[in-house]
Chain A
Amino acid sequence: MRRLDHAEAASRFIANEKHEAFHDARLWDLRKKRDRVTHAIPEWEELRQLASDIKEHTLTHLADYLEEFERKALENGVEVHWARDAEEHNQIVYDILSARNTKTLVKSKSMLTEECDMRPFLERRGVEVIETDLGERIQQLDDEPPSHIVVPAVHKLRGDVSAVFARTLGSEAGNEDVNYLAETQRQTTRPYFLSADAGMTGANFAVAETGGFVVCTNEGNADLCASLPKLHIASIGIEKLIPKVEHLGVFIRLLSRSALGSPITQYTSHFRAPRDGAELHVVLVDHGRSGRLGMQDFWYSLKCIRCGACMNTCPVYRRSGGLSYGATYSGPIGVIIDPTFDIRKYSNLPFASTLNGSCTSVCPVKINIHEQIYKWRRIIAERNQLPFVKKATMKAAGKLFGNPTLYRAALSAAGSALEDLPRFAIYNWFNAWGRQREVPQPPPQTFRQWYIENRGQR
């Protein structure tokens, strides 16, 4: 698989000035709202620690809690399926649908189904899949993946949405009124809710002691997906487990405050058993999660509750857009998850970070994101996945800085060229630095020379 070039994709994003400025401002606004609402809770930092501890406990007893969940869910009349990977997940879903001769599936937003590439799988087999979350629907109609896990179309301006809707839904061209656009989506999606044979949701939390699960949304579309058709399928990653209902009190307080700066989502819906005359299926999906659980430095990433706070605060994400990461998960959390799927393809992502650590500070479950990014860089170097220029530059730099005589000789030539570095490294470095920045001018004397002159050889 070809190595993804984040820097190149980011430069295209930045070149579109209006979009970049809006994207940055919109997400920074979410970060500010998050700060405001979390600072109003005196025990906020304790809550984060508690959530982190609950997740840590659950992940270290995951097999037990999964079995408990399954047992309870079966008792409740839910059908439970286990999927080892994306392919198994998609096949299970298709088998459920085709056994009931289902042709239309309405679904709410689910990053897991994005991860599994489920939509094209089902569409190739004759099932029409309708995304019903507004942002997700915009992205589906524009044939683009979501660029953010909470606000999927945040990289689009209202004019972009207007153009997409005019092209695909027949709305009035040039009408950029947000109410008109939202209403257009609403009216064109509604008939699908009423006619669909099956609905699909994800889950934010699955509770082992009850066998139930919770879906947190703001638009109400997940509830329509779950409540109108006779068949409800919920795809749930195995890391979504929490032991007890009482733990929801911790996570629900953290989730929407971290995500959007609102105290709670508009809808927090609990599902436990099928409605009368309807079916409820749960697909528990691994798709790399148990492998990640076995990775010493990286299993912590499974604590993630998908709030997107790390993306909103990330200065790199805000200026490069989610699509520049070329993966389902973008931003800081994507940087530490994506390489577990394909280390070569995503080997540049851990370098798309300044290691500023703001992601770690906002993470509601205290994932040490920036420390994991740092560790991924080592793994990538160890597995020989560094680009040639970077590797060669670092080899030369290590030689230079490891030897005081070479270092001083190089400095004495500063301003012309650092002779011990390969020429391509020098040019690469100075060209990149100087493209949009002035290069610092070397002074007549280094600090060391001044020190010897003024303090002597102590």
Chain B
Amino acid sequence: MRVGLFIPCYVDAFFPEVGIATLQILERAGIDVVYPLDQTCCGQPMANSGCQAESAPVEKLFVKNFKEFDYIVAPSGSCTHHVRAHFDAIEQTSEVKKVRASIFELVEFLHDVIKLNDFPWAEFPHKVGLHNSCASLRDLRIAVASEINEPPFSKPLNLLKKIKGIEFAAPDRPDECCGFGGTFSVFEEPVSAKMGYDKVNDHTRAGAEYIVSADMSCLMHQKGCAERLGLPIKFIHIAQILNGARE
């Protein structure tokens, strides 16, 4: 099994430790994983702004980088959803279709594909609040959203429960969007920031020391909010905890 590692642009630029943890956990599982060096972005910022023409060259580049792999793994639900569901600015050749079908978000890949369920190297003796990004939750369905009347399950929680010492905080609105929303965070700044403030306050009230998520973009926004509010709450990507980060 050859896996191509997709590291989203904002992780590459601002949170390399998340990319490193993702790579290392896949390597620990014995996966042959490669990071194609010419990758940039999935094209979501343009496509989510309605700009199909502008996303076309980015999609082409993505396909060129990842068409050879059996699986593509990304530590981001929102990028994964974008490639899987919205990657249609270019002609849908068999190569494009293959790329779209072979991408997995990290939690999905660990939970469903390689069924990794033991993390003996990991220990996280902290109280965490789990934040599922909306794309992970409602589009990829890595868990059941609270408004849906289906038997509850949560893939990230299944994984995190295997971590020694970890405790979970119970915020009032676990599934409420944090307000990042990509370009929404800038073009609808007042609402975006208010949503972010409410989110970090909710987790703080619930006693979370950390907010953990499979999406660093949400956390980047929440971190910016918490720092501005002067809250001591910390942020960590799920890959880091699974890979054995202690704090």
Question: Footprint of B on A, CB under 8 Å?
Answer: 6-7, 10-11, 14, 20, 24, 28, 31, 34-35, 38-39, 41-42, 44-45, 313, 315-316, 319-320, 350-358, 360-362, 370, 374, 376-382, 386, 390-391, 394-395, 397-404, 407, 411, 414, 428-429, 432-433, 435-443, 445-452, 455, 457-458
Contact = CB atoms under 8 A, between A and B. Distances in A.
Contacts of B176: 315
Interface of B: 7, 9, 11-20, 23, 34-35, 37-41, 43, 45-46, 48-58, 60-61, 86, 134-135, 137-139, 145-150, 173, 175-177, 179-198, 220-221, 223-225, 227-228
B12 A446 contact: yes
A310 to B, nearest CB: 11
**Interface majority SS (helix, strand, loop, mixed), chain B:** helix
Contacts of A452: 37
A14 B51 contact: no
Contacts of B146: 35
Contacts of B34: 458
B177 A398 contact: no
Contacts of A38: 149
Closest 5 CB pairs of A and B: A398-B54, A402-B57, A354-B181, A437-B224, A381-B50
B19 to A, nearest CB: 4
A378 B17 CA distance: 35
Contacts of B134: 354-358
A414 B186 CA distance: 18
Contacts of A450: 16, 19-20
Nearest to B218: A354
Contact of A447 (B7, B183, B188): B7
Given A354-B180, A433-B186, A440-B220, A447 B39 contact: no
Nearest to B145: A361
B146 to A, nearest CB: 6
Contacts of A11: 189-191
A360 B55 CA distance: 26
Given A358-B145, A450-B20, A394 B37 contact: no
B57 A398 contact: yes
A436 B189 contact: yes
B14 A45 contact: no
A231 B195 CA distance: 48
B31 to A, nearest CB: 14
A29 to B, nearest CB: 11
**Interface majority SS (helix, strand, loop, mixed), chain A:** helix
Contacts of A370: 138
Contacts of A398: 43, 46, 51, 53-58
B188 A7 contact: yes
A14 B190 contact: yes
Contact of B190 (A7, A376, A391): A7
Contacts of B52: 378, 381-382
Given A354-B134, A358-B175, A404-B61, A447 B11 contact: yes
Contacts of A438: 223-224, 227-228
Nearest to B22: A447
Most A CB contacts (10 A, CB to CB) among B139, B191, B198 go to B191
Given A395-B54, A442-B13, A450-B16, A352 B188 contact: yes
A432 B184 CA distance: 11
A380 B50 contact: yes
A357 B191 contact: no
A411 B12 contact: yes
A361 B138 contact: yes
B86 A440 contact: no
B58 A401 contact: yes
Given A315-B195, A390-B187, A436-B228, A362 B147 contact: yes
Given A358-B177, A378-B50, A403-B57, 15 more contacts: A351-B184, A353-B184, A391-B51, A394-B46, A394-B54, A398-B46, A402-B58, A402-B61, A403-B40, A414-B13, A436-B228, A437-B196, A447-B11, A447-B15, A447-B35
A313 B147 contact: yes
Contacts of A45: 148-150
15 contacts: A28-B173, A319-B194, A354-B177, A354-B180, A381-B51, A382-B52, A399-B57, A401-B57, A402-B57, A432-B187, A440-B15, A440-B220, A441-B14, A443-B15, A446-B12
Given A355-B48, A358-B134, A394-B51, A402 B191 contact: no
B179 to A, nearest CB: 6
A443 B54 contact: no
A440 B179 CA distance: 17
Given A14-B194, A414-B13, A447 B19 contact: yes
A377 B49 contact: yes
A140 B177 CA distance: 34
Most A CB contacts (10 A, CB to CB) among B7, B15, B52, B192 go to B192
